[in-house]
C-alpha cells in the first residue's frame, strides 16, 4: 500500500478475535471458594498447561471457549460510512465493544486514527434525579467531552433537543421520547473524527429519527468524518452507508456496496426460518399428515431467511402423508413477540376447493405485501383431516422481518415494531 493511501485510513482492523469462556468469563471465577479451589488446584493445572504448550493457543481452544469474533480484518477510509449488519448473535456488539475499548480483544489489533466517540446506547449514565442541564454535563463528560467543550456546545445541544422549556426539570419527569431527544442531542455534538454507533436510531419518534439521520449524514458527508454504523435497518444502511460488511458467526462473510451486502443478507443469512426439527418430532396429533420442513421465499421466488415488510412472502411447507384422510386443512397462526395471535391463515376458508395431497409434496401459503412490522414472529402450524388434528405444533418456526417501505412512499416504519401494518391511504379535498 502506498504511503499516500495509508494517510487516509481511519480504522484498520486486523485478525481481530474475542473469546469468551462459556459460563466462566475470561478465566475468572465467580466466587471466592471456587477461586480458592482453583488456586489449590493450580499446580496441577499448570502442569497440564505446560504439557499442552506444544499446542498453539491451547488456552483458547478448549470446548468451553466461545469465539464471539474471529479473524476479522477490514479497513475504513476517512469519510467512509461503514454499515455493519448481521443477525442477533452474529458478533456485531462484541466487535463494537472492542472498537470502543470497552472490552479487550483476545487476539489481533485495531488501529484508530483520530478522535473516537462511540455510542452504544443513548443517554448512558443519565441520572433521573438530575435536571436536563445537569445530565447534559454528566453525559457529555462520560462520552469524553471536557466541561469547556460542553459549555461551548451547550446552547446548540439544548436547541437540537427541542426541550428548552424542561431543561431545569429532573429527567425522571421526562417522557421517554424527551429523554432520547436530550441524549441524542448530546451525542450529536460530540464532533469526533470517528463515530462508532450502535442501533441507537431504533428509539425515538419518526420525526426525531429523521433529524438524527440527517445529522449523521451531515457528520459523515459534509465534514468528511468516518462512521461505523451497526443496524438492523436495511433501508438506513442502504441510504447512509458507502460500504457494508456482513457478520455471521463472528466473522465477516460478505463485504461490498450496501446494496449487494444487504441483498445477500436478506437472501442467505443464517437459517432462521428452518423449523426446529426436534420440535417437529414432538408435535401433537395423530401424525397421519405432517410437516417435515419449512422454507421462506421472497417476491422473486428465491429462498430467503429474512422477510421484508411490505414485500410478498411465500411460506412453503414440505409435507408427508403417512395415512390418507379426507378434507385436509392447513392452519398457520402468526404470533408476535408477546405470543399474541396477530392473524391466522386457514386454508379451509382461503383455499379454493379441497386440497388434493400426494404422498409427499409442498403447500405454499402466499402472503402478498407482508403486513408485519420489523421483528421476529413465531408461527404455529396445525394440520387436520376434517376435524382430526394430525399435526399441531406451537412456534414451529420463526420469521424474522426486516423494515421495509410498506406504503411505497419511500418512508420506513422506523418507530414501530412487532405488530401488524394495514394498507391504507389518505386523500385530501
Partner 1 sequence: MSQSHLHTIIEPANKRQFINLKELIRYKDLLYYMVLRDVTVLYKQSVLGFLWAILNPLFQIVVFSLIFGKVAGISTGNPNLPYPVFSCLAVIPWTYFSSTFTASSNSLITTSAIFTKVYFPRMIIPMVPIFSKLVDFFISLIILLGVMFFYQYVPGKNVWLFPIPLFIIIITSTGLGFWLSSLALQYRDFRFAIGFILPLLMYVAPVAYPAAKVQQQLGDTAYHLYALYPMVGGIEGFRSSFLQSQPFPWTLVATSGAVAIFLFITGALYFKKMEKHFADVA
Name the residues that contact partner 1, by CB under 8 A: 20, 25-26, 28-33, 35, 97-116, 118, 120-121, 124-125, 127, 129-130, 134, 137-138, 141-147, 191, 193
Residues 6+ apart with CB under 8 A from 275: 291, 293, 294, 396, 397
Rounded distance between C-alpha atoms, residue 99 and residue 76, angstroms: 12
Residue 196 or 247: which CB sits closer to partner 1? 196
Minimum Å gap between C-beta 55 and partner 1 is 18
Residue 367: closest CA among 314, 317, 292: 314
Residue 133 or 239: which CB sits closer to partner 1? 133
Minimum Å gap between C-beta 83 and partner 1 is 21
> Would you state the cell numbers that stand for residue 214, as one nine-digit string?
440527517
Residue 29 or 75: which CB sits closer to partner 1? 29
Residue 118 or 161: which CB sits closer to partner 1? 118
Find out whether 92 and 230 touch, Cβ atoms under 8 Å.
yes
Length in residues, the chain: 429
DSSP calls for 317-357: EEEEESS--SSEEEEEEEE-TTS-EEEEEEHHHHSSS----
Minimum Å gap between C-beta 175 and partner 1 is 20
Minimum Å gap between C-beta 54 and partner 1 is 20
End-to-end CA distance of the chain: 63
Residues 6+ apart with CB under 8 A from 193: 10, 78, 113, 114, 115, 116, 225, 226
Residue 37 or 303: which CB sits closer to partner 1? 37
> Would you state the cell numbers that stand for residue 395, as one nine-digit string?
412456534
Q: Which DSSP category does 284 fall into?
A: B
Residue 78 or 292: which CB sits closer to partner 1? 78
Amino acid at each position: 500500500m502506498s504511503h499516500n493511501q495509508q494517510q487516509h485510513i481511519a480504522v484498520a482492523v486486523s485478525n481481530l478475535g474475542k473469546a469468551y469462556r462459556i459460563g466462566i468469563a475470561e478465566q475468572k471465577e465467580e466466587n471466592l471458594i471456587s477461586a480458592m479451589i482453583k488456586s489449590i488446584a493450580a499446580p496441577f493445572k499448570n502442569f497440564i498447561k505446560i504439557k499442552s504448550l506444544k499446542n498453539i493457543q491451547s488456552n483458547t481452544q478448549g470446548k468451553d471457549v466461545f469465539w464471539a469474533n474471529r479473524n476479522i480484518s477490514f479497513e475504513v477510509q476517512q469519510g467512509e460510512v461503514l454499515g455493519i449488519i448481521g443477525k442477533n448473535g452474529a458478533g456485531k456488539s462484541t466487535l463494537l465493544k472492542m472498537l470502543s475499548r470497552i472490552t479487550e480483544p483476545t487476539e489481533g489489533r485495531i488501529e484508530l486514527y483520530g478522535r473516537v466517540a462511540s455510542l452504544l446506547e443513548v443517554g448512558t449514565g443519565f441520572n433521573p434525579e438530575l435536571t436536563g442541564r445537569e445530565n447534559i454535563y454528566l453525559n457529555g463528560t462520560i462520552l469524553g467531552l471536557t466541561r469547556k467543550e460542553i459549555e461551548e456546545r451547550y446552547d446548540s445541544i439544548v436547541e437540537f433537543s427541542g426541550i428548552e422549556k424542561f431543561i431545569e426539570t429532573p429527567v425522571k419527569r421526562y417522557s421517554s421520547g424527551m429523554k432520547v431527544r436530550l441524549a441524542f442531542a448530546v451525542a450529536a455534538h460530540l464532533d469526533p473524527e470517528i463515530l462508532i454507533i450502535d442501533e441507537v436510531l431504533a428509539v425515538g419518534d419518526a420525526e426525531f429519527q429523521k433529524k438524527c439521520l440527517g445529522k449523521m449524514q451531515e457528520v459523515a458527508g459534509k465534514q468528511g468524518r468516518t462512521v461505523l454504523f451497526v443496524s438492523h435497518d436495511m433501508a438506513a444502511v442502504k441510504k447512509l452507508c458507502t460500504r457494508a460488511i456482513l457478520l455471521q458467526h463472528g466473522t465477516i462473510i460478505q463485504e461490498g456496496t450496501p446494496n449487494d451486502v444487504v441483498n445477500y443478507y436478506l437472501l442467505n443469512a443464517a437459517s432462521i426460518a428452518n423449523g426446529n426439527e426436534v420440535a417437529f418430532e414432538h408435535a401433537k396429533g395423530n401424525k397421519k399428515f405432517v410437516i417435515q420442513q419449512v422454507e421462506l421465499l421472497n417476491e422473486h421466488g428465491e429462498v430467503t431467511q429474512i422477510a421484508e415488510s411490505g414485500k410478498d412472502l411465500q411460506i412453503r411447507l414440505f409435507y408427508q402423508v403417512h395415512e390418507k384422510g379426507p378434507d385436509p386443512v392447513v392452519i398457520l397462526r402468526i404470533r408476535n413477540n408477546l405470543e399474541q395471535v396477530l392473524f391466522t391463515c386457514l386454508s379451509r376458508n382461503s383455499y379454493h376447493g379441497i386440497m388434493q395431497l400426494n404422498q409427499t409434496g409442498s403447500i405454499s401459503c402466499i402472503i402478498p405485501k407482508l403486513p408485519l412490522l420489523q421483528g421476529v414472529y413465531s408461527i404455529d402450524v396445525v394440520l387436520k383431516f376434517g376435524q382430526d388434528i394430525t399435526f399441531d405444533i406451537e412456534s414451529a418456526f420463526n420469521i424474522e422481518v426486516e423494515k421495509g417501505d410498506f406504503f411505497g412512499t419511500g418512508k420506513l416504519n422506523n418507530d414501530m415494531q412487532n405488530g401488524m401494518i394495514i394498507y391504507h391511504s389518505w386523500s385530501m379535498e
